[in-house]
């Protein structure tokens, strides 16, 4: 059963292999729900997530926090090969911006 205050991140997409819509939840990547309509796939995955949460709570397991309610600092580290780092530093210098600003602009597109 879907929770009233369900804040999880859902997506419905077409599955060519299954010839049906598939409902997915980002916070529960192992779960999916197939249905003949977009609406039924969304309803099905929300119901399944609700059932899994109830089962997890019944076993006193920790339930994933919805992405929408998490606090993000705006910082994360990305490792790249040294030659890519060098190329990006050159691009930033040529554009007259910081490497951080260049990377942020590239990631936001």
Residue 2 lies in a domain: no
* 30-75 residue pLDDT tens: 999 999 999 999 999 999 999 999 999 999 999 999 999 999 999 9
Among 11, 22, 2, smallest CA distance to 67 is for: 11
pTM equals 0.74
Residue 5 lies in a domain: no
Do 51 and 28 lie in one domain? The reply is yes
Residue 1 lies in a domain: no
Query: For 39, left (φ over 0), alpha (ψ -120 to 50), or beta?
Result: alpha
What pLDDT was estimated at residue 85?
Answer: 96
Provide the residue range defining the domain that includes 48.
Answer: 10-67
Q: Are strands 10-15 and 32-35 parallel, antiparallel or unpaired?
A: unpaired
Higher pLDDT, 5 or 81: 81
How far is 107 from 49, CA to CA, in rounded Å?
Answer: 31
Do 40 and 14 lie in one domain? The reply is yes
Do 30 and 59 lie in one domain? The reply is yes
Do 84 and 46 lie in one domain? The reply is no
């Amino acid at each position: 059963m879907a929770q009233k205050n369900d804040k999880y991140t859902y997506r419905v997409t077409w599955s060519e292999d299954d010839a049906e819509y598939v409902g997915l939840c980002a916070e529960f990547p192992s779960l999916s729900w197939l249905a003949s309509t977009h609406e039924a796939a969304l309803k099905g995955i929300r119901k399944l997530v609700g059932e899994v949460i109830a089962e997890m709570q019944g076993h006193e397991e920790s339930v994933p926090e919805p992405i929408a309610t998490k606090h993000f600092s705006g910082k994360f580290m990305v490792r790249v090969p040294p030659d890519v780092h060098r190329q990006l530093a050159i691009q930033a210098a040529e554009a007259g911006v910081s490497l951080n600003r260049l990377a942020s602009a590239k990631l936001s597109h």
